[in-house]
């Protein structure tokens, strides 16, 4: 039976090595990001964030027209567009493209969308070998695990663990030097690139006016995936659309800085279809798979539509006090960190893991660092409200509902509130004597499970206030 | 086609739109081009580019530099007129004139060094810009372990904003435009920087 969210969290919290790894890696990311968006490095940083938000808003508020424009342009440049209402349709499309083109081996670059639709499993089941080519994803694939972080999939593994893995799976002599491990991976994957009949990629942006996909990377595996095999399939969520190539002047200045603390990644590819006459290399066929898979439903919610502005940089996860303690694997669903906490409930339904919007201290760090200014804390609150509204309709929550109704009635009657406080202090807590309360009775114990409850003060604030008012102006007969 | 209508219908309904429409255009793109002198551009480029940069005062100097770098190592050159003028094609260990898809791929895979021209260089953020064409293919700058790129000083732009001002739609020109910021790199293993994962481990920009 699958572990619950709480169980998974407890396991993660007691794994000291995991804690250390996550903190070291995220500290590094955060330091680099802070440096590279500082005023000396990027003077118009805040303007760029606002511009990025505005462009995404414009594009998504008119997504239907932009999708049609994108399709027209892709076809004009010799590519094909396949519309995929859900993951199954997308996988089915990749399978038929592979079969049509006699593909037995496919190479793949890192793409959260392909994780979302479980592409690899289905291809393998149908006799097509699929190889992850991003080094971190390659490592995760070898060990049979999901990616741990949007940008650094194997960040939780030590070099020793990777060396063991390579020794076992690649027949490599055990050597934990990162340069040697990287060389081994390069060698294995280079062969596959040259043999593969199909390259599958995601897309960071879809340019409507150009009919193009834009991809950023540091390793070079995306360039190889999209340039060597005869067929290139790009899969992207419909929300990735931005209007023009020129809009990249805003986004490219933000993405790498937030994702990996660099001004630009090593490679940025702007690809518009199969190779044209005169060009020497490039794919012969290009397919763009547009994936809905619940995005149109999020689009319909005007309050939470901005969730779709995400450019998958991972900055929110790096600063989140929750993510930094429990790590990516603790989150159910494909996406982790703060963006995962608001995406997953909207993709999979509130009941999939109703605790997700509550797994947050609402510190606001995520909203502060988001390059496209998604108000993640507000989204979390809205989802909490939605969860509670759905829950309170159920009978089992009627006591909580009545307790809050009673509380709210009491709060609207100040004198009664004060008397209740007085009685509480005089009769309920006499043993407290200024000591912190280690555990509250009954269901209130959940509150004191991980913290102590402070003892009541000698005098209520209202009394103190009244006393002080009298001290200040003895003749003034106003009461508190 | 049913899937297409299915998705478009859901999107239109979600947005409260009825039927097909042309979107009202967004506000003009945010493109702010700094007014840096050519000298300032070169200074920024050489300071910030994550690969090696070499400034040459003349074509002869550049030709000599490349000849020295390539000596004794297998190399492949893209079919770029600038490289012709530098005499790169006639260097002993350099293969060139590869125009077929397969021979290009094999030639690049077998060579230690790839030599290309570029379409532009950007000063800040520092990058090379290459649009795929008959004279600049996709693999010469990607498969070999070393990449030598040659750019003429007057092709050095200030940055992304100027690039998209001059080339508002790269798709009109080529199926591929790539911005190269430096060598291939990864931090995937314990956040330790390692170069040359899949692409070249070193990039050298010769500015002439």
Residues of A in contact with B124 (CB under 8 A): 263
**Cα Rg, chain A, nearest whole Å:** 27
Distance between CA A440 and CA A446 in Å, rounded? Answer: 8
**CB–CB contacts below 8 A, A to B:** 271
Q: Spell out the domain ranges in chain B.
A: 32-207
CB contact under 8 A, B191 and A28: yes
Q: Alpha helix locations (H) across A247-321?
A: 248-260, 295-300, 315-319
Strand blocks (E) in A109-182: 129-132
Using DSSP, state whether A27 is helix, strand or coil.
Answer: helix
**Window 193-212 of A, Cβ < 8 Å to B:** 193-194, 207, 209-212
A219 and B198 within 8 Å at the Cβ level: the answer is yes
Report the pLDDT value the prediction gives residue A25, as an integer from 0 to 100.
87
Q: Domain B32-207 is of which CATH architecture?
A: 3-Layer(aba) Sandwich (3.40)
Closest A-chain CA to B21: A65
Among A18-22, B71-75, B77-81, B163-167, the minimum mean pLDDT is found in: A18-22
Give the pLDDT confidence of B8-25 residue by residue, as tens digits. Answer: 999 999 999 877 767 677
CATH of domain A44-293: 3.40.50.10420
Spans of chain A, pLDDT less than 50: 480
Span between the terminal Cα atoms of chain A, in Å: 58
* pLDDT digits 0-9 by tens, B23-51: 677 889 999 999 999 999 999 999 999 99
Are B176 and B132 a contacting pair, CB within 8 Å?
A: yes
Q: What ipTM does the predicted assembly reach?
A: 0.96
State CA A251 to chain mean position distance: 18
Q: Nearest by CB to A189, from B11, B172, B198: name it.
A: B198
pLDDT of the residue at B23: 67
Structure confidence at residue A1 (pLDDT): 52
Strand partners, A216: A268
Q: Mutation test of the interface with chain A: which of B166, B167, B187, choosing the one with the most A Cβ atoms within 10 A?
A: B187
User: Model's pTM, two decimal places?
Assistant: 0.91
Looking at the partner chain, which of A186, A227, A278 has a beta carbon nearest the beta carbon of B197? A186
Q: Which residues in chain B have Cβ-Cβ distances shorter than 8 Å to A157? A: 189-190
Tens-place pLDDT, residues A85-106: 999 999 999 999 999 999 999 9
Q: What does the longest C-alpha to C-alpha distance in chain B come to?
A: 67
Beta bridge partners of A268: A216, B179
CB contact under 8 A, A282 and B194: no
The whole-angstrom distance between A170's CA and the closest CA on chain B is: 17
pLDDT, residue A478, reads: 52
Q: For position A430, what pLDDT does the model report?
A: 59
Interchain CB contact of A186 with B (< 8 Å): yes
Would you state the pLDDT for residue B181? 96
> Rounded distance, CA B150 to CA B123, Å?
15
Q: Which of residues 9-48 of A touch B (CB under 8 A)?
A: 24-25, 28, 44
Write down the domain spans for chain A: 44-293, 434-480
B134–A300 C-beta distance less than 8 A: no
Rounded to 5°, angle at Cα A266 from A262 and A268: 105
């Amino acid at each position: 039976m699958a572990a619950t969210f709480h169980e998974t969290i407890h396991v993660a919290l007691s794994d000291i090595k995991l804690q250390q790894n996550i903190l070291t890696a995220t500290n590094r990311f955060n330091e680099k990001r802070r440096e590279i968006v500082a005023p000396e490095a990027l003077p118009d940083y805040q303007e760029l964030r606002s511009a990025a938000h505005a462009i995404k808003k414009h594009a998504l508020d008119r997504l239907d027209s932009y999708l049609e424009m994108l399709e027209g342009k892709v076809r004009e440049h010799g590519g094909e567009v396949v519309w995929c209402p859900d993951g199954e349709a997308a996988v089915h499309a990749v399978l038929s493209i592979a079969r049509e083109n006699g593909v037995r081996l496919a190479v793949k670059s890192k793409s959260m969308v392909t994780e979302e639709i479980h592409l690899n499993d289905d291809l393998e089941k149908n006799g097509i070998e699929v190889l992850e080519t991003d080094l971190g994803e390659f490592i995760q694939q070898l060990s049979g695990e999901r990616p741990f972080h949007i940008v650094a999939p194997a960040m939780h593994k030590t070099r020793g663990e990777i060396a063991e893995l390579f020794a076992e799976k690649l027949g490599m002599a055990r050597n934990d030097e990162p340069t040697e491990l990287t060389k081994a991976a390069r060698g294995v994957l280079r062969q596959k690139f040259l043999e593969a009949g199909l390259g599958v990629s995601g897309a960071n942006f879809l340019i409507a006016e150009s009919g193009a996909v834009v991809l950023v990377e540091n390793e070079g595996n995306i360039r190889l995936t999209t340039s060597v095999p005869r067929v290139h399939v790009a899969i992207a969520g419909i929300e990735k659309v931005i209007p023009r190539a020129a809009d990249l002047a805003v986004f490219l200045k933000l993405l790498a800085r937030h994702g990996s603390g660099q001004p630009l990644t090593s490679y940025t590819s702007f690809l518009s279809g199969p190779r044209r006459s005169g060009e020497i290399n490039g794919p012969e066929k290009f397919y763009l798979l547009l994936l809905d898979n619940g995005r149109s439903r999020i689009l319909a919610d005007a309050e939470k539509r901005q969730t779709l502005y995400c450019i998958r940089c991972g900055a929110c996860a790096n600063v989140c006090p929750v993510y930094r303690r429990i790590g990516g694997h603790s989150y159910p669903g494909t996406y982790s960190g703060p963006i995962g906490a608001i995406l997953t409930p909207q993709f999979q339904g509130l009941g999939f893991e109703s605790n997700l919007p509550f797994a947050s201290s609402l510190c606001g760090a995520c909203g502060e660092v988001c390059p496209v200014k998604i108000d993640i804390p507000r989204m979390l609150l809205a989802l909490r409200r939605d969860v509670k509204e759905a829950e309170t309709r159920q009978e089992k929550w009627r006591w909580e509902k009545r307790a809050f109704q009673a509380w709210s009635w009491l709060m609207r009657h100040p004198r009664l509130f004060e008397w209740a406080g007085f009685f509480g202090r005089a009769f309920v807590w006499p043993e407290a004597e200024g000591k912190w309360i280690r555990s509250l009775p009954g269901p209130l114990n959940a509150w004191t499970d991980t913290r102590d409850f402070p003892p009541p003060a000698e005098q209520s604030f209202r009394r103190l206030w009244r006393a002080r008012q009298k001290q200040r102006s003895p003749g003034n007969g106003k009461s508190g | 086609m049913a899937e297409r209508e299915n998705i478009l219908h859901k999107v239109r309904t979600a947005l409260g739109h009825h039927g097909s429409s042309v979107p009202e255009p967004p506000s003009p793109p945010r493109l702010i081009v700094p007014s840096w002198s050519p000298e300032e551009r070169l200074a920024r480029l050489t300071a910030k580019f994550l690969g090696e940069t070499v400034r040459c005062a003349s074509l002869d100097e550049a030709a000599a530099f490349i000849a020295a770098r390539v000596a004794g190592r297998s190399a492949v050159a893209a079919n770029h007129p600038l490289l012709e003028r530098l005499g790169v094609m006639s260097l002993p260990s350099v293969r060139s004139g590869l125009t077929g898809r397969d021979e290009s791929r094999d030639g690049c895979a077998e060579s230690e060094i790839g030599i290309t021209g570029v379409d532009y260089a950007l000063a800040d953020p520092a990058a090379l810009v290459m649009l795929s064409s008959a004279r600049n293919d996709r693999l010469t700058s990607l498969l070999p372990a070393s990449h030598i790129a040659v750019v003429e000083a007057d092709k050095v732009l200030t940055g992304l904003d100027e690039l998209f001002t001059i080339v508002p739609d790269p798709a009109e020109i080529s199926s591929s435009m790539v911005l190269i910021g430096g060598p291939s790199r990864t931090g995937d293993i314990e956040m330790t920087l390692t170069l040359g994962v899949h692409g070249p481990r070193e990039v050298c920009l010769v500015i002439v």
